[in-house]
Structure 1
Amino acid sequence: MPTQTEAFRFSEFGSPQVLKWQPQELPDPGPGEIQIRHLAIGVNYIDIYHRRGVYAAQLPLPSGLGIEGVGIVTALGEGVSNFNVDDRIAYVGGPPNAYSTLRNVPAARALLVPDALDSETVAALVLKGLTVEYLIHRCVPVTSKDTVLFHAAAGGVGSIASQWLKHIGATLIGTVSSEEKAKIAQENGCDHAIIYTKEDFKARVAEITGGKGVRVVYDSVGADTFAKSLDCLRPRGTLVSFGESSGPIEPMSVASLGGKGSLFVTRPSIAHYTADRGEYEAAARNLFGAIEAGIIKAPNVSKYKLSDAVKAHKEMEARRTHGSVILVP
């Protein structure tokens, strides 16, 4: 029988005000699905992209919002044999609907959470942590010999990446917007924090590296940083463009990559690095192990009531948050 839930839905793209908190009937989980009661929900910049309509062609309206959370399994759909009622699971991906008290999730996206890990910590880390895991271990595997430039180093992904890259032993250059965020970046492991509002990061990277450039740039900022990021790379270096918080990137000439040093550019998606169940589980084991070992910690978690998701979005877009943002029912 259908279960009553409450969730944020939106029927048009736009500002945070398009999100509407409303009761809904939740059907029984279908084949291959599990039903969960949320304990904590992660908020990410992709939620803002979804709400704004950046990926409108992939998101039919009306829609829910949110793609990660932690919860307790309350019911199993037909064919689900690898989970039990009362299991605590985390998930990343599936149809957006995490901003809800209860929901159905594809069992293929669920991960058992180790008993030692706190639910709010996992919600603050799982998507961002899995993002960092694939970026630095599989997209461009970083070693202790590498020098790396990471934009938005005090943000949710940047803070986790800084901690993990520090553990690896790489030399890390991070860009941030303020003195306060520079301190956060350095505390998390950045060897050099460039305040891009005061300094030209391209010139500073050249100075720090003695003109050699870095092996890889991780860039989630987009329009404001892309062109200069290419100029920060050493010959045969790689620019990993995994977001565009400042706006879309202008078209570029592929031929220019040769003139700049036989550079590589990639636009990865976590969906393609976690689509295989075995790879997804291995990435989660790597992440959960790093959390348990104290290699990475949840960076400055900002916690809001689930019903205050509109406020959380406003404060994220105004850059009044740094680290991770979670919602708690």
Structure 2
Amino acid sequence: MHPKLIPNEYGLGPIAYLLDGTRVFEAYADYAGEKGITSADVGTRLRFVEPFVVQSSTSSSKGGKVGRCNIPGIVNVPAEFPPSLNCHQAYFDHWVSNVTCRTGFIDTLEDVLSFVPIVDFNAGIVAKGKAQIKSTVTGNNGGGLPSSDTTNGIDADDALMDQGQIYLPINNTLTDAGHVYGFLREIGQGVQHIASRMRDIVDFVQRVNDKSIMFGEGFAFLSIPRSYYGILTVDMLVGGISPRRRGDGMDLKMTGEFLSADCAVAIHDICTSGGLLHDDSSLVLDATEDMIKMTIGSRISPVHRKEYVEKREGIVETILHSCYVNLYNLLRVR
């Protein structure tokens, strides 16, 4: 399917390791430019490891056989987190890649791994100053535990350690500024970083910041623009959202035309001029239902007042939802 991405040493197929029979196949992760047209970018490889089958007396699978996936050269070591060290257990969550052709890389992952786009952040565009990037999260569709909510019968620790759902954010740059542009220019296409998840991220960040102050050195955290998590758009106001999930299976989603386009534009303008939205259309974090109703209600023109009053609750809910809409669109698949 993608012969240009196959390294010469794998031209005859997977390589079997004599020690345990593990079969490994590698392919270049991306093209230098357009998918299928340009040559392979040899900077990053994807490694595929085929599990070998072993007998297990404790396995409930058919015939007592289970698949074990060992990476050659890597030895399993029990993870230990001594309470005396007050450790924060970290588990793999995702990796982020910077590429030249984002859509081509997404298509390649779909061809090879059946991964599909899960969410585009702000219709794909994230901006901070002169830096502008497009960002799409791809991954396996519907993997992992159904929920991390203990009230639904899923243990929180199981959800923390579960690796069934894969998220792969993919970025490309639109301008000659910012960290993605610098990464591609200095290093080339590849993995920008690997991210971990933990039980209490707030406590972890606080501890890191405290130690940085005490020792004068330590980690520094990126100042991620609010627009990355969600912005309010006219299209969101026009489409509206369905009732918030209340345990009855109802989901938050676009429902077609909720507001007229003219009314939606007027409300968006009021939210901007009234201080509810930042310049990038992200909602101020201290906005409340009462604040939104008061701001819009005192400024809405007579021509749109009737429509606003009739749909006020849904409008307010849509505005509040905008501050985390990208995260919701990403995580609701779990």
TM range (shorter): under 0.3
Task: Name the structure with the higher strand share.
Answer: 1
- Which protein shows a greater Rg? 2
TM-score normalized by structure 1?
0.24
TM-score normalized by structure 2?
0.24
